[in-house]
Amino acid sequence: MNRPIFITGIGTEIGKTVTAAIVTEALGAHYWKPVQTGYAQGADKDKVKHLLSNTQSLIHPETYSLRLPASPHVAAREEGITISLNAIENDYRKIRAKCNATGYLVIEGAGGIMVPLNGQEFMADMITRLNACVILVSRNYLGSINHSLLTAELCKQKQLTVAGWIFNDQYLAYEEEIAAWSGYTHIASIPRLPAITKAGIHAEAERIKPRLLNLLRQLND
């Protein structure tokens, strides 16, 4: 299997799940969200499954599915448990064994890369432990340029492998500036879709597929 692709973003509610669905559809990849919080409001794996058209993708269950819609370490504490990267890595090894040798696994994070998993470890530590390459998701809102560049700077400090940016919500010229300032590739721009549908996800997946595959091949060579 190729290196896993970790979808993370500059914060919450910036389009990670839709982006993960598009990337999963484009690659015919497996999908996994290791830590889900707020499951009573709907699990992201179910949303992604509903949006896929291809027949190759498998949706894997979470390692941790937590009721409280909060930071993972808080949601876990509420249920009297501690999130363990060892448990997540064990599940990853089982999932990896089910993936095609030339296939991809898309992993969706929760929030941004400094979201706490427990008292000592953060989402960035999960990325490192799983040896994943990162796709950064950014959405256009007041302050998002700063949040994007801070996220990029932290990726460099943590020595994470970053494939590049996928932008949501019509950044326009700002997209190229963020890519240039961060030093990371502009993979694609996802327009604001009038409705999130299976057909729309497939169309966006086909549009970004050639560039995405080219970048990932370079990272896996």
Give catalytic residues, as residue numbers. Answer: 33
**Lookup result for tokens 């996994």:** 32
Binding residues for substrate: 37
Binding residues for Mg(2+): 17, 108
Binding residues for ATP: 13-18, 108-111, 168-169, 191-193
Q: How many CB atoms lie within 10 A of CB 9?
A: 26
CA distances from 121 to 34, 109, 118, 156, 169 (A): 14, 14, 6, 18, 31
Binding residues: 13-18, 37, 108-111, 168-169, 191-193
